[in-house]
Amino acid sequence: MKTMNKKYFVRALAMALSILMLLSFAACAGDKNEDAGNNTPTLDISTETDELKPVFSGNTYDGRDFIILCRRDTDEGTYKSDIIINEITQSSSQVDKAIYDRNITIEELMDVKFTYVEVANETKFTQSINAATMSDADTYDLIAGHGRYVFKGVLNGFYMDWNQLEYVNLDAPWWSQSAREEWTTTSKRLYMMNGDLSYMSVGSANVMYFNRDVFSNAKITTPYEHVKNDNWTLETFEKSVRDADAAMVGDGSGLPETDTFGYGTEAWRGPIQAVYSAGVSTFAKGGDGKFSIAIDSNRVTDAFGDYQDLVNNSGAVYYAGIGIGAARDHFMNEVYAYFDDNVKSAVEFNGSGLNFGIVPWPKYDKDTEDYNSLVGSGTNTFAVLKNTSEDNRIRISDVLEAMSYYGYKDVIPYYFDTVISYQASQDEYTYEMLQLVRKTLHFDLGHYANFGGIGDIGKDVIEGKEGYGETISTALTAIKGNVKMELEVWYQLDD
């Protein structure tokens, strides 16, 4: 493995490339390149202003380490390399190179040095946070962890309000407005955040994959057409699942080794996403600052009931406890015509040779305003320790704004164009579908906080958890007391 070790040459080259890309960005931001191998990919930001640029303090920081506490990468997910790449090798992807160049650019611009501390699991992550809050200030500059782990730290009072980070422009498009809206307390405090610091803010979003060969061979209308006709609903999906199931050849055993299905799903995908198909969040904030349970409605119960019927009766299959890895293998082995998973799985599917397409997860019905692409809580979620010193807040805000801005400008486009649109699923629609997913990303408070188990309610209803009953409505009746009790802890953050 040959490593590039001419550090200063690489840094100078990265800076030069960054300047060139800044000059050309406004001219090409709305265009999709036809040859990702020869051109810098671009991201369609036509709904945003090209004039928006970050504002930094102008300070430099004498080479001081910028220390990130993060999870260790595993085979099941990218928990470090989405934000930190230490070196470029012959096997490095274009996205790896983009992250490496981004960080080098920031290091040169602000005279900092990115370093990190890895932890292996939730217990060690929590222990590290606890120790840091009880020690001297500035142990870590950034916390990057599983959304639910980070949220526990929010409730424990470990983190500072992002509105106190002077040079972080939360109005900018490189910060998630969904996360900001969902996670802001009633007194306008924001203790954790997400955005283009990490491409996994898109990579962990739920989408619907489909086997294009099944639809082409059977001459079935593709979901692309349903999306374009604004008819991509649960009803349309159910009919499409039945048509696809009829076109496939299986033995009727219900076993993935020998049978085939129009749709296959796993615990943490379809049942979780289906709760949001009616276009709602878990909670709605009232004028009194209190939250009502927005999914406690006939509309959501009906939408999820339709999904249950689909899974149980329409050539679909849900294997409880199968695990996401095994479910992905089934899709790659052409057991399913449809399969819901995160955007990031496109890279793995590409390696299988499967001819697949990507669309948003379907809406409940035509009255649903838009798709609701849930970003799973397993993605890196970011926080800054409350005991961060006053002087260090300016440095942290400078670096975070730069990470997210250059991620937006230089990394996310490579993730879309190089990793997904071109290398993975090469067709004329994929890029457009992924842009649609990006515009409908949803960082639901209930999914991350999981008050009273409400974030898992779809999975638990499908699997018949004891005491939950058979519908979203009956399940909410069973857990509502605990949900409201745990919400009180959230309200206390405003005291």
Residues 210 and 273 in one domain: yes
Res 12: pLDDT: 39
Q: How many domains does the chain have?
A: 2
Q: Which two tokens mark 150? A: 């980070």
Residues 219 and 331 in one domain: yes
369 and 382 assigned to the same domain: no
Task: Kindly state whether residue 150 falls inside one of the protein's structural domains.
Answer: yes
Same domain, 149 and 65: yes
CB count within 10 Å of CB 427 equals 16
Enclosing domain of residue 142? 61-203+377-424
> Is residue 433 one of the residues assigned to a domain?
no
Q: Does residue 182 belong to any structural domain of this protein?
A: yes
Q: Are 219 and 344 part of one and the same domain?
A: yes
214 & 188 share domain? no
122-157 burial: b if 16+ Cβ within 10 Å, else e: eeebbebbeebbeeeebbbbbbbbbbbbbbbbbbee
Q: Is the pLDDT of residue 253 over 50?
A: yes
Quick: pLDDT tens for 331-341. 999 999 999 99
Identify whether residues 331 and 274 lie together within a single domain. yes
- Residue 293 in 3-state DSSP? strand
Same domain, 220 and 332: yes
- Is the same domain home to 161 and 237? no
Residue 350 lies in a domain: yes
Classify residue 394: in a domain, yes or no: yes
Domain contains 82: yes
CA distance 359 to 273: 14
Question: Is the distance from CB of 455 to CB of 282 less than 8 angstroms?
Answer: yes
Please state which of the ranges 58-72, 79-93, 400-414, 470-484 shows the lowest mean pLDDT: 79-93
Please indicate, yes or no, if residue 364 is contained in any of the structural domains: yes
Whole-prediction pTM: 0.88
For the packed helices 298-313 and 234-247, what is the interaxial angle rounded to 10 degrees?
0
Query: CA-CA distance, 47 to 440, in Å (whole number)?
Result: 13
Asked if residues 434 and 420 have their Cβ atoms less than 8 Å apart, the reply is yes
Query: Is 389 part of a structural domain of the chain?
Result: yes
188 and 306 inside one domain: no
User: Token digits for 297?
Assistant: 């409605």
Tens-digit pLDDT profile for residues 35-74: 333 343 444 443 444 568 999 999 999 999 999 999 886 6
Asked whether residue 164 falls in the same domain as residue 270, the answer is no
CB atoms within 10 A of CB 347: 17
User: In what helix (H) or strand (E) does residue 122 lie, and over which residues does it extend?
Assistant: helix 122-134
Residue 428 pLDDT more than 80? Answer: no
For residues 245-266, average pLDDT: 92
Domain CATH code at residue 114: 3.40.190.10
If asked whether residues 364 and 384 sit together in one domain, one would say no
Q: What angle separates helix 94-110 from helix 7-28, to the nearest 10 degrees? A: 100
Which among 397, 396, 400 has a CA at the least distance from the CA of 140? 396
